[in-house]
Structure 1
Amino acid sequence: MTTFAVRTSNLPAINSMTKYPSIPTYHSLDPRNGRLLDEAVPFPSLVIGTEKVDGTNSRIILLPDGTYLLGSREELLYAQGDLIGNPALGIVDALRPIADNLPAVEDDHIVVYYLEVYGGKVTAASKQYTGDKRVGHRLFDVAVIGDHREMSGWDSQRVAAWRDAGGQQFLGETTLRRTAEDTGLDLTPRLFEIDATELPTDIAETKALLDKWMPSTRVALDDDAAGRPEGIVLRSPDRAAIAKARFQDYERTLKGRSR
């Protein structure tokens, strides 16, 4: 096996294989009007609810040669040691100190830390988290990619198909919590653990669940934050099932139904 070296690697393939996959809405969205349909994502047993933070999806990509890359959801922004990085959304400034202190990967794997960078001037919702333009970050997933060498020879469409089919291996809840503790990173807030039979499938009842568990954000960065949360991410302990429930989707749907 040849030694991995980031400077000679297929960066477009690494970018594609480490992108965070889209998470479905808990209730399906009607493409005609953006309202929710009655069909809900099934969960097999235990359901963990976590706060969905409205920031920008960001990546720390730890490579087998001991270096790292930083990226937004779509693009690579910085390689360790570069003099200049893409300043988009303040991701590099927020994540570089974290990446410098993460442990090097073991074996011939790529490990990806997915963090939500929020506050500052990151999104239109930043005022919900800070009145002083402070910037925060929360870890929400970690993936381990062991077959990156094979995929380095694939075209971008094939890599994307692998990713969209669930090819990335994400840490389960127990290991994710231990990883966060070992690295000193804060996870997105854990709100509840309930049996799947207790999870409502009715749209109005799901809105009530959001209201109960998320009256305000739990990740405000200062006392001047407006505090309105985006929603909740629902996930199984092994992360085989995952979905998002956003306030705006339920509010839009219920308002439309009341007319």
Structure 2
Amino acid sequence: MFDLRNADLRKLNSMTKYPSIPTHHALDSKNGGLLEEPTQYEGPVIGTEKVDGTNGRIVLLPDGNWLIGSREDLLTARGDIVHNPALGIVDALRGVAEKAATLGSGGFGEVLVLYLEVYGSKQLPAWKHYGEGQAAVRMFDVMTAPVDMLDWPVERIASWRQNGGQIFGSEKVLADLAAQAGVDLTPRLFEIDGSDLPGDVEGMRAFLEQYKTTQVATSGEPGLNEGVVLRSPDRSVITKARFQDYDRTLKRRQKSTK
């Protein structure tokens, strides 16, 4: 029987970290700009807002316990009196974790991880784009893993994660779990066929322009959106298209032609 008190938290932390999402157009290793090498999507592509906050995770365990973490570290567990206050993540996610704990992890794997964007707080750099500084939460992904992986050496777990071993839920599973946990998803902006995405950097930047304003402002005038996350409905392919990357690349190109 799994018991959090006896679990190796280093392994649990490594197993449940969220991976980096690759850029939609490949990055040039020489200067960090974008290359004319887009990711190819076959069939439908779902575009979602890339909310500019900080990643949080809720780890639901077989014994009914839960953990809350940032992208890199575990910050608290169910029943803790004192928690790590980093970036306001625990305060923003504790209520969601308590409600999500009723979901359990059966049927979705023995460890179920909800990934959420915590944004809008004055502790975060981009808070002014979202309102007056109050924290808000949106769910953007879900992952499952077998609990017996905790018997592996921590180095093997890290390699498994870094090489794409994590199993993420489809769009339907994600939507269902978000509804059950009582939390909204990051905004769904569009669904188109992959062949309709612009192939070149300049065309993709022009395509993104219509989504430059956030849809998740908590008050006041909506500010700028960080970008768009592109994903297939089964989540087998996922990439990010950030305004900053496209603007920097095109600006560099303009300078080089002068």
Instruction: Identify the TM-score tier after normalising by the shorter chain.
Output: over 0.9
Please say if residues 69 and 76 of structure 1, whose CA atoms lie closer than 8 Å, have aligned partners that are also in contact. yes
Please say if residues 61 and 111 of structure 1, whose CA atoms lie closer than 8 Å, have aligned partners that are also in contact. yes
Instruction: Name the structure 2 match of 1:14.
Output: 12
- Deviations along 1:97-141, one digit per CA (max 9) or x if unpaired, are 1111112222660000000000112421111112x2111110000
The within-5 A match list for 1:1-259 is: 3-102=1-100, 103=102, 104-106=104-106, 109-130=110-131, 132-146=132-146, 148-149=147-148, 151-212=149-210, 214-225=211-222, 227-259=223-255
Distance 1:165 1:44 in 2: 22
Please say if residues 212 and 226 of structure 2, whose CA atoms lie closer than 8 Å, have aligned partners that are also in contact. no
- Deviations along 1:36-93, one digit per CA (max 9) or x if unpaired, are 1111112121100000011101100000000000000000000100110000000010
Structure 1, unaligned runs of 5 or more: none
Runs of 4+ in structure 1 over 3 Å off: none
Please say if residues 212 and 227 of structure 2, whose CA atoms lie closer than 8 Å, have aligned partners that are also in contact. no
Counterpart code for 2:246? Y
Distance 1:44 1:167 in 2: 22
Please say if residues 56 and 122 of structure 1, whose CA atoms lie closer than 8 Å, have aligned partners that are also in contact. no
The offset of 1:224, in angstroms, is 4.8
Please say if residues 45 and 233 of structure 2, whose CA atoms lie closer than 8 Å, have aligned partners that are also in contact. yes
Tell me the TM-score normalized by structure 1. 0.94
The percent identity for this pair of structures is 52
Distance 1:60 1:109 in 2: 14
SS of the residue aligned with 2:216? coil
Counterpart code for 2:231? R
Distance 1:13 1:99 in 2: 21
Q: Note closer, same or farther for the CA distance 1:123–1:32 as it changes in structure 2 (3 Å cut).
A: farther
SS of the residue aligned with 2:143? strand
Counterpart code for 2:111? I
SS of the residue aligned with 2:175? helix
SS of the residue aligned with 2:142? strand
SS of the residue aligned with 1:209? helix
Distance 1:126 1:159 in 2: 35
Counterpart code for 1:145? A
SS of the residue aligned with 1:124? coil
Tell me the TM-score normalized by structure 2. 0.94
Counterpart code for 1:126? W
The offset of 1:161, in angstroms, is 1.1
SS of the residue aligned with 1:222? coil
Structure 2, unaligned runs of 5 or more: none
Please say if residues 55 and 122 of structure 1, whose CA atoms lie closer than 8 Å, have aligned partners that are also in contact. no
The offset of 1:170, in angstroms, is 1.0
